[in-house]
Homo-oligomer: A and B are copies of this chain.
C-alpha cells in the first residue's frame, strides 16, 4: 500500500518525516472521522530539500522579510475572519458581519453567493440550498461521538438485521421453482447459511482486534494483499453499498405495498422519492447516532421476536405439525445448480455484517472490546431471527408470492390484519430505510479513502459546508436511482446482483486478515485467529464463486462488469495522479542542462540580435542564451524573458487600456492586428500612425476572415522562433452587467484563451473593461 499523500496526523513542519512509519501509524491515518481541515500535503525530507533548493535560485528577486512592509504598496494585514467558535455563522451566511482588525476589512457578510455569479437565479439557488440543507458548519462540529453498546447495536446492525426482510424470501423465490420438493430444502440451506453467519462473525471478531482504529475491507485487503486486492475489495464494497440502497428501498417499498396493494403500481416513484429524501437528509448531515436511529432497529427486533414467538406457540399448540403449503407447480427439477442458486440468494441475509468492524473507534473505551461484544450480540440476534423465520416458514407452509412479502404473509397469519401487523410492516420499512442510510455513511467514506490514496477523483476528498462528503453522497444516490429504476424496483430482480459484491469484499478482507496474522506471528492466539479468518475467507470465496457463476446470466454479469470497470478506472486514476504529482514535484533545476548552440537563422532576416534592454538588472546577452527544449522547464524569475503580445481588434478604450497595461511592464510589446484584406490592413496601420506609432505593430492578413486560427498560428510560430521566451498574450475583455448582454458582444477573448491553452510558456492575461450599463 503506497503512502497516502494526505495525512491526518499532524506533523511538525521542518522536522523530517520518520522513515520507519510502521503499521501503527498507518492505522492511525485511517482512523475515525476524517479531518477536513488538513488539506496541505505533508512534505517529506526530499521534498523539503527540493523546496529549499528551489528557493535558493531566486537570488536578487528575493525581498528580505524585514523589507516586506516597504516592498508592498498596501498593508496586506487586513484582519482575519473570526474563529468558528467565536461567532456562530448566520443561517444564510458563511461568515458573520465583522469589522476586522483595524477596521480595514469592510463590514460585509461574505456569503457563498459571492462565489457564484451575482445573478438572481444564483441567489435563489443559494437560498433554496440553505433552507434545504441548513447553515454551514465549522470543522469543529465533527466530534466523534462515542456510542454505548446499546446504542451502537441498533445503529450499526440495522444493515445486517434488516437483511432478514429479503434474504429468506430471496431463497424461497428460487426453491419454489422446483415446487414442493424444492421447498423441502429450505431448512438445510438455512442451516448452512446460519453456520456461515457464525463463521464470518467470528472471523470479523479477529479483524476488530487487529484493527482497533477501524478496518474496512478496503483497508485490510489493501494493506495486507496489495493495491489491486484493495481495489477488488473496494469495488465489491461499492457495488454492495449501491445495491444495499436499491435492495433496501425495493424491500421497504414491498413491505408497504404488501400492506397497501393499491400502491404497487407506484413502486419506482416511491423508491426514488425515498432515495431523494435520503440524499437530502445526508447532504444536510444526518448524525449517525441518537434514539431516532435506534428506534427502528429495536422495533424491528421486537416485531420479529413477537412473530417467531407467536408462530412457535401456534405450532406447539397443534403439536409441531407443519401446515401444508398451497400447491405450487414445479417449473424446474431439483439439481445442484438450483440449490446453489437458492443458497447464494439466501446468503444476502448476511449483508451488513462488516459494519461494526468499520466503526470500532465510535465505541466507548475499550473500543475494540466493546465492538467485539456488540458484534457477538448482533451475530446472535441475526442467527436467532434468521433461523426462527426460516422455521416459521417451514411450519406455516408459506411460499413465495411476488406480490406479498414472506414477512407480511407470516405477520398476517400470526397477528391477523390488525395493529400488530401494521407495526410489523412499518418497522420493516423503517429498518430498511435505516439500512440504506448506513450505505450513505459508508460509501462516501470509502470514496474518501480511495481519493486519499489517489485512486478516486480528488473531488471525493471535499467536505461540504455541512461537513458531509457531498460528492460521494450524490454519486451514491445517482447510482442507486439508476439501478433501482433499471430493475423496476423489484427485490427479486436485484438480489442476483447483490451477493457477488458483498462476498468479494468479505473474501478479500478475510484473506487479508490471514496474511495479517502470518505477519504478526508474535501476537497471542495468532494461530487460532488465522484459522478463523482462513475459514471465513474460504467460505466467503465459495459463496462468491457460487453467486457469480450461478447468477451470472440472471444479473450478476452487471455486477461483474461494474467491478471490472471500477478497478480499471481506479488504476487509471491512480496512474494519472502519480504522473501529475511527478510532473508537479519540485526537482533539481535543469537536470540535463544541455548547452545547445542557437540554431542558425533560417529566415530572410536574422533573428533580432541583443534587443535593447531597458532594465539594467538584466545583463545576459539574449543571443548567447541556451535554447532549451520546447517543453516547460523551471526558471528562476530572473531567467524569464518576456514578450508581450496584444491582439488589437480596433483602437477603442478597451484595447488601448490593454495596450497600456502591457506597456507598463516595460518589457517588449508587440501589437497584433488580424485583417481580412491588405486594404483593411493599410487602414489599420494608418490609424496606428495617427495614434502615434508608439509600439511595434504587426498585421496578419487572413483572407478567410478567421481571427483565432491565424492568431494561434502566429503565436505558435513565434514560439518556434524563440522557444526560450515566455509569451504573455494580453486580451482585452468586455464585461457586461447582465448576462443577456453577452449575446450582444463578440467572444473572441475566451476563444483565443481556449485556443492558446495547449501552448507551453504562453501566459494569457485578461484585462477587463466593465461596461457601466
Contacts and interface: CB of A to CB of B under 8 A. Distances in A.
B139 A702 contact: no
A579 interface: yes
B766 A764 contact: yes
Contact of A104 (B52, B586, B666, B721): B721
A603 B75 contact: yes
Interface in A64-86: 64-65, 67-78, 80-84
Given A663-B58, A765-B763, A84 B704 contact: yes
Contact of A611 (B73, B112, B684): B73
B605 A75 contact: yes
A204 B578 CA distance: 75
A165 B117 CA distance: 53
Given A584-B769, A643-B72, A465 B705 contact: yes
Interface in A626-647: 631-632, 634-638, 640-643
A391 interface: no
A772 interface: yes
A604 B102 contact: yes
A596 interface: no
A75 B465 contact: no
Interface string A615-626: 111000010000
Contacts of A38: 680
A299 to B, nearest CB: 38
17 contacts: A13-B690, A37-B677, A37-B680, A63-B695, A65-B693, A71-B608, A73-B608, A74-B721, A75-B605, A76-B696, A78-B717, A89-B704, A94-B706, A103-B604, A115-B709, A587-B653, A616-B616
B55 A694 contact: yes
B13 A612 contact: no
Contacts of A318: none
Size class of the A contact interface (CB-based, 8 Å): 35 or more
A366 interface: no
Interface string A636-680: 111011110000001111101101110111111010000111011
Interface stretch (A182-190, A374-382, A480-488, A752-760): A752-760
Interface stretch (A155-163, A327-335, A455-463, A540-548): A455-463
Interface stretch (A39-47, A306-314, A498-506): A39-47
A670 B68 CA distance: 9
Contacts of A105: 713, 717
Contact of A13 (B683, B693, B718, B722): B683
Interface in A593-608: 602-608
Given A51-B691, A72-B611, 4 more contacts: A81-B710, A573-B744, A580-B773, A635-B657
Q: Which 8 residue pairs of A and B lie closest in terms of their CB atoms, listed nearest first?
A: A55-B692, A102-B604, A13-B686, A637-B663, A102-B603, A62-B694, A640-B664, A55-B691
A120 interface: no
A102 B602 contact: yes
A75 B606 CA distance: 7
A412 interface: no
B670 A72 contact: yes
Contacts of A573: 744
Given A70-B611, A772-B579, A746 B458 contact: yes
A525 interface: no
Contacts of A101: 604
